[in-house]
Amino acid sequence: MKIAIAGYGVEGKANYDYFSQKYPDASVTIVDEQLLNAAALPDNVQTITGSGAFERLDGYDMVVRTAGLAPYKIKTDGRIWSGTNEFFAQCPAQIIGVTGSKGKGTTASLIASILEADGNTVWLVGNIGQPALDVLKNIQPDDIVVYELSSFQLWDVQQSPQTAVVLFIEQEHLDVHKDMADYVAAKGNITRFQDPSDRLIYWTGNQYVDSIVAQSHSQRIPFPDQATAHIEDGVFCYGQQRLVSTDVLKIRGQHNQINALAAINAAWPFLKDRSSIAAGLGAFTGLPHRLQYVATVKGVEFYDDSIATIPAAAIAAMNAFDVSKPLVLILGGSYKGSDFYELAKYIVARKNVTVLLLGVEADRIKDVFASIKFENYKIIHPQTMTTTVNEAMDHSVGGGIVLLSPAAASFGLFKNYADRGEQFIAAVHALEDE
């Protein structure tokens, strides 16, 4: 048997380890368009690298693609497979899958926190950073898996989780997907293979989510909804049951209250004790680079929301703060096909916002600002995070907010969103030392 491991990042390494062990007599080749460091490769492994590597895979029985590699970029006469497909096929436990344009990681973490507070053994895997195949051998039938699923992982799945959660969907990843229809179709696979005994928990009032719901054969559970999870007078409720004050959440923003509603719905059938909801929601303190408080310098609060790579996420982040407080917003990055018009309108309507622009998207955002006559912005030069944070401090007043919520991808200036966030944090702490 001949197996190609297509893409050799974190997930690719997990794929290599798993399939090498599952098929010890197979010939396994690592394939990547990037040149690979020989020291980081397994001993005596075969490789195919360089431009066009994924188009030279005829003769392999199985090509296991990493999530970010589009299936249509692989040319093979064999079977295209993935770590997600393998996990779904082999996992002995119930799977709760979570997708959406933003909020996946937070919602998945809230679900896991509630279920753990209830005494369950929970495995939080997927796009959140833990390759699912790394832990598959340890999962028992009575455990629960919470799987954060990106559109890339869902692209070609052949099975859906028993519980599917679909959050708000907006334009994203159009630098990778062929178009919005391709992106939404990939997201829709989270429910495509469900049957009537499965559950689909979905955010209401979004046209893209509505199109996914229309194709589902499962039990459809909207949120917020008076019959299930909703908020009433500042209290999380389920139907007629009042559960706990929304103040229990340690993470900011109305959008995170909505994420909590999705989590309550997902966890509800598994719970032995409803008080676990309050315990689980209260125990979660947030994920890095998601509206994360960094420091207060000379009365100015700095927040890292580097994960916000689409405009809707930046709007949600700004909504988490008092509109009376002056706000400096760090915006921009690399291209991913986003439309900035609604974000620009929100900034104008909010008032008291200064925008600092970074990256190749700076000119596109500037043009949108010009179209609505917004002038309170500056394109940063040189384009470093230290310069940006110093400029933000110069434009701030005591009691104000500096928010890194870029509404764009990070590539070009930074390795990824985490690197962007870490550089922001370091630059803020450098201000503290002055």
Please state, in angstroms and rounded to a whole number, the distance separating the CA atoms of residues 178 and 19.
30
Q: For residue 201, with 0-12 CB atoms within 10 Å meaning exposed, 13-18 middle and 19 or more buried, which class applies?
A: buried
Identify the pLDDT of residue 205: 87
Q: Find the CATH number of the domain harbouring 65.
A: 3.40.50.720
Residue 345: how many CB atoms within 10 A of its CB? 14
Please state, in angstroms and rounded to a whole number, the distance separating the CA atoms of residues 249 and 320.
13
24 and 74 fall within a common domain: yes
**Angle between helices 83-90 and 10-22 in degrees, nearest 10:** 50
402 and 277 fall within a common domain: no
Q: Find the CATH number of the domain harbouring 253.
A: 3.40.1190.10
107 and 240 fall within a common domain: yes
H/E stretch holding 62 reads strand 62-65
Question: 333 in helix, strand or coil?
Answer: coil
- Residue bearing tokens 């937070």: 106
Identify the pLDDT of residue 171: 84
Please state, in angstroms and rounded to a whole number, the distance separating the CA atoms of residues 431 and 386.
9
Identify the pLDDT of residue 293: 95
51 and 100 fall within a common domain: no
Identify the pLDDT of residue 130: 93
Parallel, antiparallel or unpaired: strands 292-297 and 300-304: antiparallel
**Rg (alpha carbons) of the chain, rounded to whole number:** 22
164 and 259 fall within a common domain: yes
Core vs surface per residue 31-60: b (16+ CB within 10 A) or e: bbbeeeeeeeeeeeeebbeeeebbeebeeb
Tally of domains in the chain? 3
Task: Please answer whether residues 377 and 355 qualify as being in contact, where contact means their C-beta atoms are separated by less than 8 angstroms.
Answer: yes
255 and 301 fall within a common domain: no
78 and 218 fall within a common domain: no
408 and 327 fall within a common domain: yes
Task: Please answer whether residues 335 and 310 qualify as being in contact, where contact means their C-beta atoms are separated by less than 8 angstroms.
Answer: no
pLDDT in tens, 92-134: 999 999 999 999 999 999 999 999 999 999 999 998 889 999 9
321 and 426 fall within a common domain: yes
Q: For residue 279, with 0-12 CB atoms within 10 Å meaning exposed, 13-18 middle and 19 or more buried, which class applies?
A: middle
Amino acid at 277: I
pLDDT in tens, 135-153: 999 999 999 999 999 999 9
Please state, in angstroms and rounded to a whole number, the distance separating the CA atoms of residues 224 and 213.
15
157 and 270 fall within a common domain: yes
Residue 167: how many CB atoms within 10 A of its CB? 24
Picking from 23, 57, 82, the residue at the C-terminal end of a domain is 82
H/E stretch holding 99 reads strand 94-99
* DSSP conformational letter for 409: B
Question: 367 in helix, strand or coil?
Answer: helix
Picking from 255, 283, 311, the residue at the C-terminal end of a domain is 283
What range does the domain containing 341 cover? Answer: 292-432
169 and 277 fall within a common domain: yes
Identify the pLDDT of residue 434: 72
Please state, in angstroms and rounded to a whole number, the distance separating the CA atoms of residues 55 and 339.
32
Residue 78 backbone phi and psi in degrees, to 5: -100, -165
Picking from 283, 307, 337, the residue at the C-terminal end of a domain is 283
Strands of the sheet with 229-232, listed across from one edge: 229-232, 235-238, 241-245
Q: Find the CATH number of the domain harbouring 395.
A: 3.90.190.20
323 and 220 fall within a common domain: no
Dihedral class, residue 205 (left if φ above 0, else alpha if ψ from -120 to 50, else beta) = left
pTM over 0.75: yes
Q: Which residues of the chain have pLDDT under 70?
A: none
Q: Would you mind telling me the total number of residues written for the chain in this entry?
A: 434
Nearest to 186 by CA among 284, 126, 101, 110: 101
Task: Please answer whether residues 249 and 257 qualify as being in contact, where contact means their C-beta atoms are separated by less than 8 angstroms.
Answer: yes
